[in-house]
Structure 1
Amino acid sequence: MAGHSKWANIRHRKGRQDAKRSKIWSKCSRAIIVAAKNGGGDPAMNLTLRYAIDEAKAANMPKDTIQKAIDKGSGDGEGASYEEIRYEGYGPAGVAVMLDLLTDNRNRTASEVRYLFEKYNGNLGATGCVSYMFEQKGEIFLEKSKIDEEALMDLALEAGAEDIADEGEAWHITTAPSDYTAVRDALEAADLEIDSATLAMVPDNHVAVEGNDVQKVLTFIEMIEDHDDVQKLHHNAEIDDEAMAALDG
């Protein structure tokens, strides 16, 4: 992906998240509570909970806050009952979008999300309208300064990684969902600090976003991600590194 690395997009997103840490932590807590409530409070026995904890750690959420969320979800205390839902549609410039949400009021959330799509010249579609364009994969990123390519190939491929790509400043490791945990564990066992790791919906093909559409698409993504109920946003936009650097600059 020369010229349009996913790593550049991740760095841009991390910069925004640093400024909205309390909201990110609130979303992480919600995901942990729901995961613990549905599958128990032991991450060794509940992979969904483990993934939620991993996301919280990546957001620098304090350990005691993570534990409080686990305790709240696995306890008998009453609280809001959240429903997991997925919305699909198209954003500006024909970008395909999928949203994973946790909501305690489906009607309210649907109305608010539909408004955001329409505000930015998008369209919230029917279930299945874009999901066929995506495939679930594990994605792990490491800064290249932490390990050379040969050592990483030996370690990650042995653990089950599908592919390792050079994205300039970072290595981009792709895994099947079933091998994601094993690969991540192998990297951590080698004392490698992981910069980003998640189970993501990866698009089969990308839509190149250029010119004035770059800011429109990024603003749309930011506004959607800022919604309290949105846990994850998946899209197939491809933005040139130079355009991303200009926005960050």
Structure 2
Amino acid sequence: MAGHSKWSNIKRKKGVNDAKKSKIFTKLVKEITVAAKSGGSEPELNPRLRLAIQNAKGANVPKDAILRAITKASGSDVAAYHEVTYEGYGTHGVAIMVVCMTDKIVRTVANVRAIFTKYGGSLEKSGAITFLFDYKGIFTIPVANIKDHDDFTLGLIDAGAEALEDDGASIHVICAIEDFGKLQKHLETLAIAPTSAGLEYIPHTLVQVSDAALPKIIKLIEALRDEDDVQKVYHNIDIQPAQEALWE
């Protein structure tokens, strides 16, 4: 259940500067506020909030920022956010899924379309590229947190894990959507906190892009990630080992 995989090809860049980190914090804090607004401020009674807090802690979001986000959710001035997913193509047939959290869909779709257009891509109709991806549960767990790897692996398989992928620093546990809650509870019983967990789009059809063409596509993906309303971006580029440096 381990080794090279499609998940390895879509990991985010290793380096994150202060500006990027601030963007990531903002997106994680937004998810906490939305989760608390929709399901209540008690993590024990609100699985979405519990997961959002866990992901924020995994990204080292300050505790005060997490508490402020939960408190903010009880205010009457909090915007009503909607989660929407847009699909598009970059150049060279690269498929891109864009997950957004927005309080104004008209603004968001216009901004996302403009980014695709600027970098030679196109925004497509809903359902145009979803068939190229599987929607799966993903848990990322630091290897250092695992004491007995054999027992850990067997327990995860019993709890519903479909694949385990070790990149040296972390183990990525992949499961079907319906087994996400079961795996989450299993990790809680082991007192193991993932650095991140959630539902992700994993490509099952990959495309290779030349070194010459890749920089423009990277700019498109990064521009989408920098958009305020965008929470996550997924693509199906088959990144070759020699191309890893281009993503730094």
Scaled to the shorter chain, the TM-score interval is 0.7 to 0.9
Paired residue for 2:99?
A: 100
Q: Post-superposition shift, 1:231?
A: 0.8
How do residues 198-217 of structure 1 correspond to structure 2 at under 5 angstroms? 198-217=198-217
Question: CA offsets, 1:118-137, max 9 Å, x none?
Answer: 11111001111112322221
Calculate the aligned-residue CA RMSD, in Å: 2.6
> What percentage of residue pairs aligned between the two structures are identical?
37
Q: Post-superposition shift, 1:170?
A: 4.2
Paired residue for 1:51?
A: 51
In structure 1, list runs of 5 or more residues that go unmatched: none
Q: Retained in 2: the 8 A contact 1:161–1:173? A: yes
In structure 2, list runs of 5 or more residues that go unmatched: none
Q: Post-superposition shift, 1:65?
A: 1.2
Figure out how many residues of one structure are paired with residues of the other and give that number: 246
The one-letter code sitting in structure 2 at the alignment partner of 1:49 is: L
How do residues 152-191 of structure 1 correspond to structure 2 at under 5 angstroms? 152-167=152-167, 170-187=170-187, 189-190=189-190
Question: CA offsets, 1:42-97, max 9 Å, x none?
Answer: 23332222232232222211122112111211x14223232322211112321111
Take 1:17 and 1:64, find their aligned partners in 2: how far apart are those partners? 22
The one-letter code sitting in structure 2 at the alignment partner of 1:229 is: D
Note closer, same or farther for the CA distance 1:158–1:2 as it changes in structure 2 (3 Å cut): closer
Q: Retained in 2: the 8 A contact 1:135–1:202? A: yes
Q: Which deviates further from its counterpart, 164-173 or 208-217?
A: 164-173
Take 1:127 and 1:38, find their aligned partners in 2: how far apart are those partners? 25
Q: Which deviates further from its counterpart, 172-181 or 107-116?
A: 172-181
The one-letter code sitting in structure 2 at the alignment partner of 1:131 is: T
Paired residue for 2:36?
A: 36
Q: Retained in 2: the 8 A contact 1:134–1:201? A: yes
Note closer, same or farther for the CA distance 1:25–1:176 as it changes in structure 2 (3 Å cut): same
The one-letter code sitting in structure 1 at the alignment partner of 2:139 is: I
Q: Retained in 2: the 8 A contact 1:139–1:173? A: yes
Paired residue for 2:77?
A: 78
Q: Retained in 2: the 8 A contact 1:84–1:102? A: yes
Take 1:76 and 1:167, find their aligned partners in 2: how far apart are those partners? 42
Q: Post-superposition shift, 1:185?
A: 4.3
Q: Retained in 1: the 8 A contact 2:215–2:246? A: no
Note closer, same or farther for the CA distance 1:191–1:4 as it changes in structure 2 (3 Å cut): same
Superposition TM-score, scaled by structure 1 size: 0.85
Paired residue for 2:63?
A: 63
Superposition TM-score, scaled by structure 2 size: 0.85
Q: Retained in 2: the 8 A contact 1:95–1:235? A: yes
Between 1 and 2, higher relative CO (CA 8 Å, sep ≥ 6) is seen in 2
